Structure 1
Amino acid sequence: MSSFTDLKVLVIGGTGLLGSNFVCQCSQSSKVSKVIVLARRSFPKFANMSKVEMIVNKDTSQWSNLIYDYPEDIDVIFSSLSTTRGDAKGFANQKQIDLDLNMELIKAAQVKKASKVIIVTSFNNALISRIFPYFSLKKTIENSILSLNYSSTLILRPGPLVGDRTCLKSDVSFASKLSSEIAAWTYNTPCSSLLGFSIKDDEVINSAMYYLDNQDHVKIVTSEEMFGLSAAMEGI
């Protein structure tokens, strides 16, 4: 890995709620020299960020080749790439994006010498991962990435996310809007823990940035831990 002040970070899912926040924070970080964002569409918000390089290709089947062909090595890959069953038009299609595409790209980054992977999954436990396909899929994603044996793996498990998705795209699904509203209603209330501990998008990314140069072989951070860490960082 490059020195802690010269990291080249590849971001997939960078035009989403968490990914775009991560790109913005990386662009301002002294630890990061370049942020490569692989996306299906351009993102004007990044246009004036000197550290950000956008690689736009609508055909996700070509993304791994774009990583292999990238002229520089990569230090870190960050992924918040995911979709919903509704947007993907079925669970099988959701799995192709959330699991298959993520794994393909994270393997490609490893070939480009990335030694750290940061992946956003979801709050989870043994019971709900056995009952609900969504949580089972998230657990499978985690296990699959751990099997790659990266030098360092950071798994972020946020609960329901508080954040404005309408600023990212106009066609936000009803399910996403409802999830955001429930997260906002329960945020920092006793009900929050019953739903997986609601958390703001920037609190998740504050934790990602805090652990960006952490060298633990495997680090799993829960939603409650991210909430506490972000509050502690604000108090410094």
Structure 2
Amino acid sequence: MPDFYTLLLGGSGLTGKSVLQQMLSLPSYFPVIDVPTLTSNLELNHHIIIITRSQFDLGTEVEKISSMFQKSDLVEWKCVFNESSNTISYSTTIHDLISICVNVEVTTIKEPDSTKWAQMIPHHIFINDPSADLSVISCLGSTSARSKRTGVARDWVDKILNLDILKAILNNDILSQKLSQYIIMTSFNNFAISRMFPYFKAKQELETNTQFLLQNHRASIVILRPGPLIGKHGSTSSFTVPELDDRLLHSILRYKKAIFHHYVRRMNEWKDVGIATRTSELVAQFSYNMPGAFFVGYPVKVLDCAHVIVTERVKHFKLPSLQPQKVTYFSSQQIDSYKAKNEIAHIY
């Protein structure tokens, strides 16, 4: 089976992290493995390339996956993480004869200056397998708070950076030949709001320009249009209970001090993410499945967005001979029901 490559843009963001976690997880590859039909050994190699502004802690992500793996019922599988190659490997043997191995390798490119990303990427993706398959997944996006902090215009990240990276890939003969799928997240949108708000206008222009760039290319396009996302941007520190002793007054003071420092940390986290973003998170959470939610855009869980992205990626690799439609759209409602429909289809 040929290797497959995925360039993940925005891998350190809210949705991108969830996409990576699911791509590191063994169950995501079960549709490709298809154990009941296997008659010979299978080795599956997935190469994930991530470009990020800051240091990316892959070890932390692997720890989360390993913890979930240990709690799962996949007792017949072994899981090993090779730190030197940044590869997580799953292996098993069925019927005492057929061996299965799934290797997921992650390459991280750290570059704080995102204006250099487009010119860098073609020089950091090396594909030697002539039958290999490349998919680009873009979860790139900015927030108003981050835009103010960095001085980088929000629509530059949301639109121009995405398009510059796509152009760089298309202008590279090897990568252009390998590219077979392009997945992007935009937003719920309509004619009215795209004229009223620059953010939605940039997202609509991203869709239009992406389709224009790929109109004569073999790559299919998958566009997710979620409403407000249910999830938490940035990190959220947990409260650490201080060590208490037999001195009641001393213990009370230490506890109050710990509470104070905890709330200071939480306030700083809110500042880093931005009040507007946190407010959007709360609106999404409380309006989910509520009547009238469509007025603010149908809210959808980040985990569900990631599930659609990863499933569409793996499905595309499994069935490359099928000719998918050029552009596939997923609205919030379709994202919300995607997993349940797939499970029903699998049963029947």
TM-score of the superposed pair, with normalisation by structure 2 = 0.62
Partners in 2 of 1:198 and 1:80 — Cα distance? Answer: 17
CA apart distance, 1:78: 0.7
Number of the residue aligned with 2:207: 142
Determine whether 1:79 maps to 2:102: no
Contact 2:47-2:106 at 8 Å conserved across structures: yes
Within 5 Å, give how 1:1-236 maps onto structure 2. Answer: 6-28=3-25, 29-30=28-29, 33-44=46-57, 45-46=60-61, 50=87, 51-73=105-127, 75-89=134-148, 93-110=153-170, 111=172, 112-113=175-176, 114-149=179-214, 150=217, 151-167=219-235, 170=269, 171-212=272-313, 213-214=315-316, 215-233=324-342
SS at match of 1:159: coil
How many percent identity over aligned positions? 29
Query: Structure 1 CA distance, aligned partners of 2:169 and 2:292?
Result: 39
**Counterpart of 1:210 in structure 2: which amino acid?**
T
1:104-155 Cα distance to aligned partner (Å, 9 max, x none): 1122233323221111100001111122221111100111111111421111
Paired AA for residue 177 in structure 1: R
Distance 2:182 2:204 in 1: 16
| Secondary structure of 1:221 counterpart | strand
Distance 1:144 1:168 in 2: 36
Specify the code of the residue in structure 2 equivalent to 1:68.
Answer: P
TM-score when scaled to structure 1? 0.89
* Displacement of 1:92: 7.9
2-structure distance, mates of 1:118, 1:233: 19
Does the CA contact (< 8 Å) of 2:49 and 2:125 recur in 1? no
Task: Give the unaligned 5+ runs of structure 2.
Answer: 33-44, 63-80, 88-104, 128-132, 238-268, 317-323
Distance of 2:279 and 2:192 partners within structure 1: 24
Corresponding letter in the other structure for 1:8:
Y
Task: Indicate the structure (1 or 2) with the bigger Cα radius of gyration.
Answer: 2
CA distance in structure 1 between the aligned counterparts of 2:227 and 2:3, rounded to whole angstroms: 31
Q: What is the CA–CA distance in structure 1 between the aligned matches of 2:330 and 2:236, rounded to whole Å?
A: 26
Could you tell me which runs of 5 or more consecutive residues in structure 1 were left unpaired when the two chains were aligned: none
Cα RMSD after superposing both structures: 2.4
| Alpha-carbon distance in structure 1 between the residues aligned to 2:116 and 2:234 | 28
Cα distance in 1, alignment partners of residues 136 and 145 from structure 2: 27
Alignment length (residue pairs): 233
CA offset digits 1:171-218 (Å, max 9, x no partner)? 211111000000000112223222211010011111112222443311
Measure, in 1, the Cα distance between the counterparts of 2:301 and 2:283: 12
* Rounded Cα–Cα distance in structure 2 between residues aligned with 1:56 and 1:43: 8
* Distance in 2 between residues matched to 1:65 and 1:166, nearest whole Å: 28
> CA 1:100/1:168 → structure 2, altered by over 3 Å: closer, same or farther?
farther
Residue pair 1:27, 1:35 contacting (<8 A) in 2 also: no
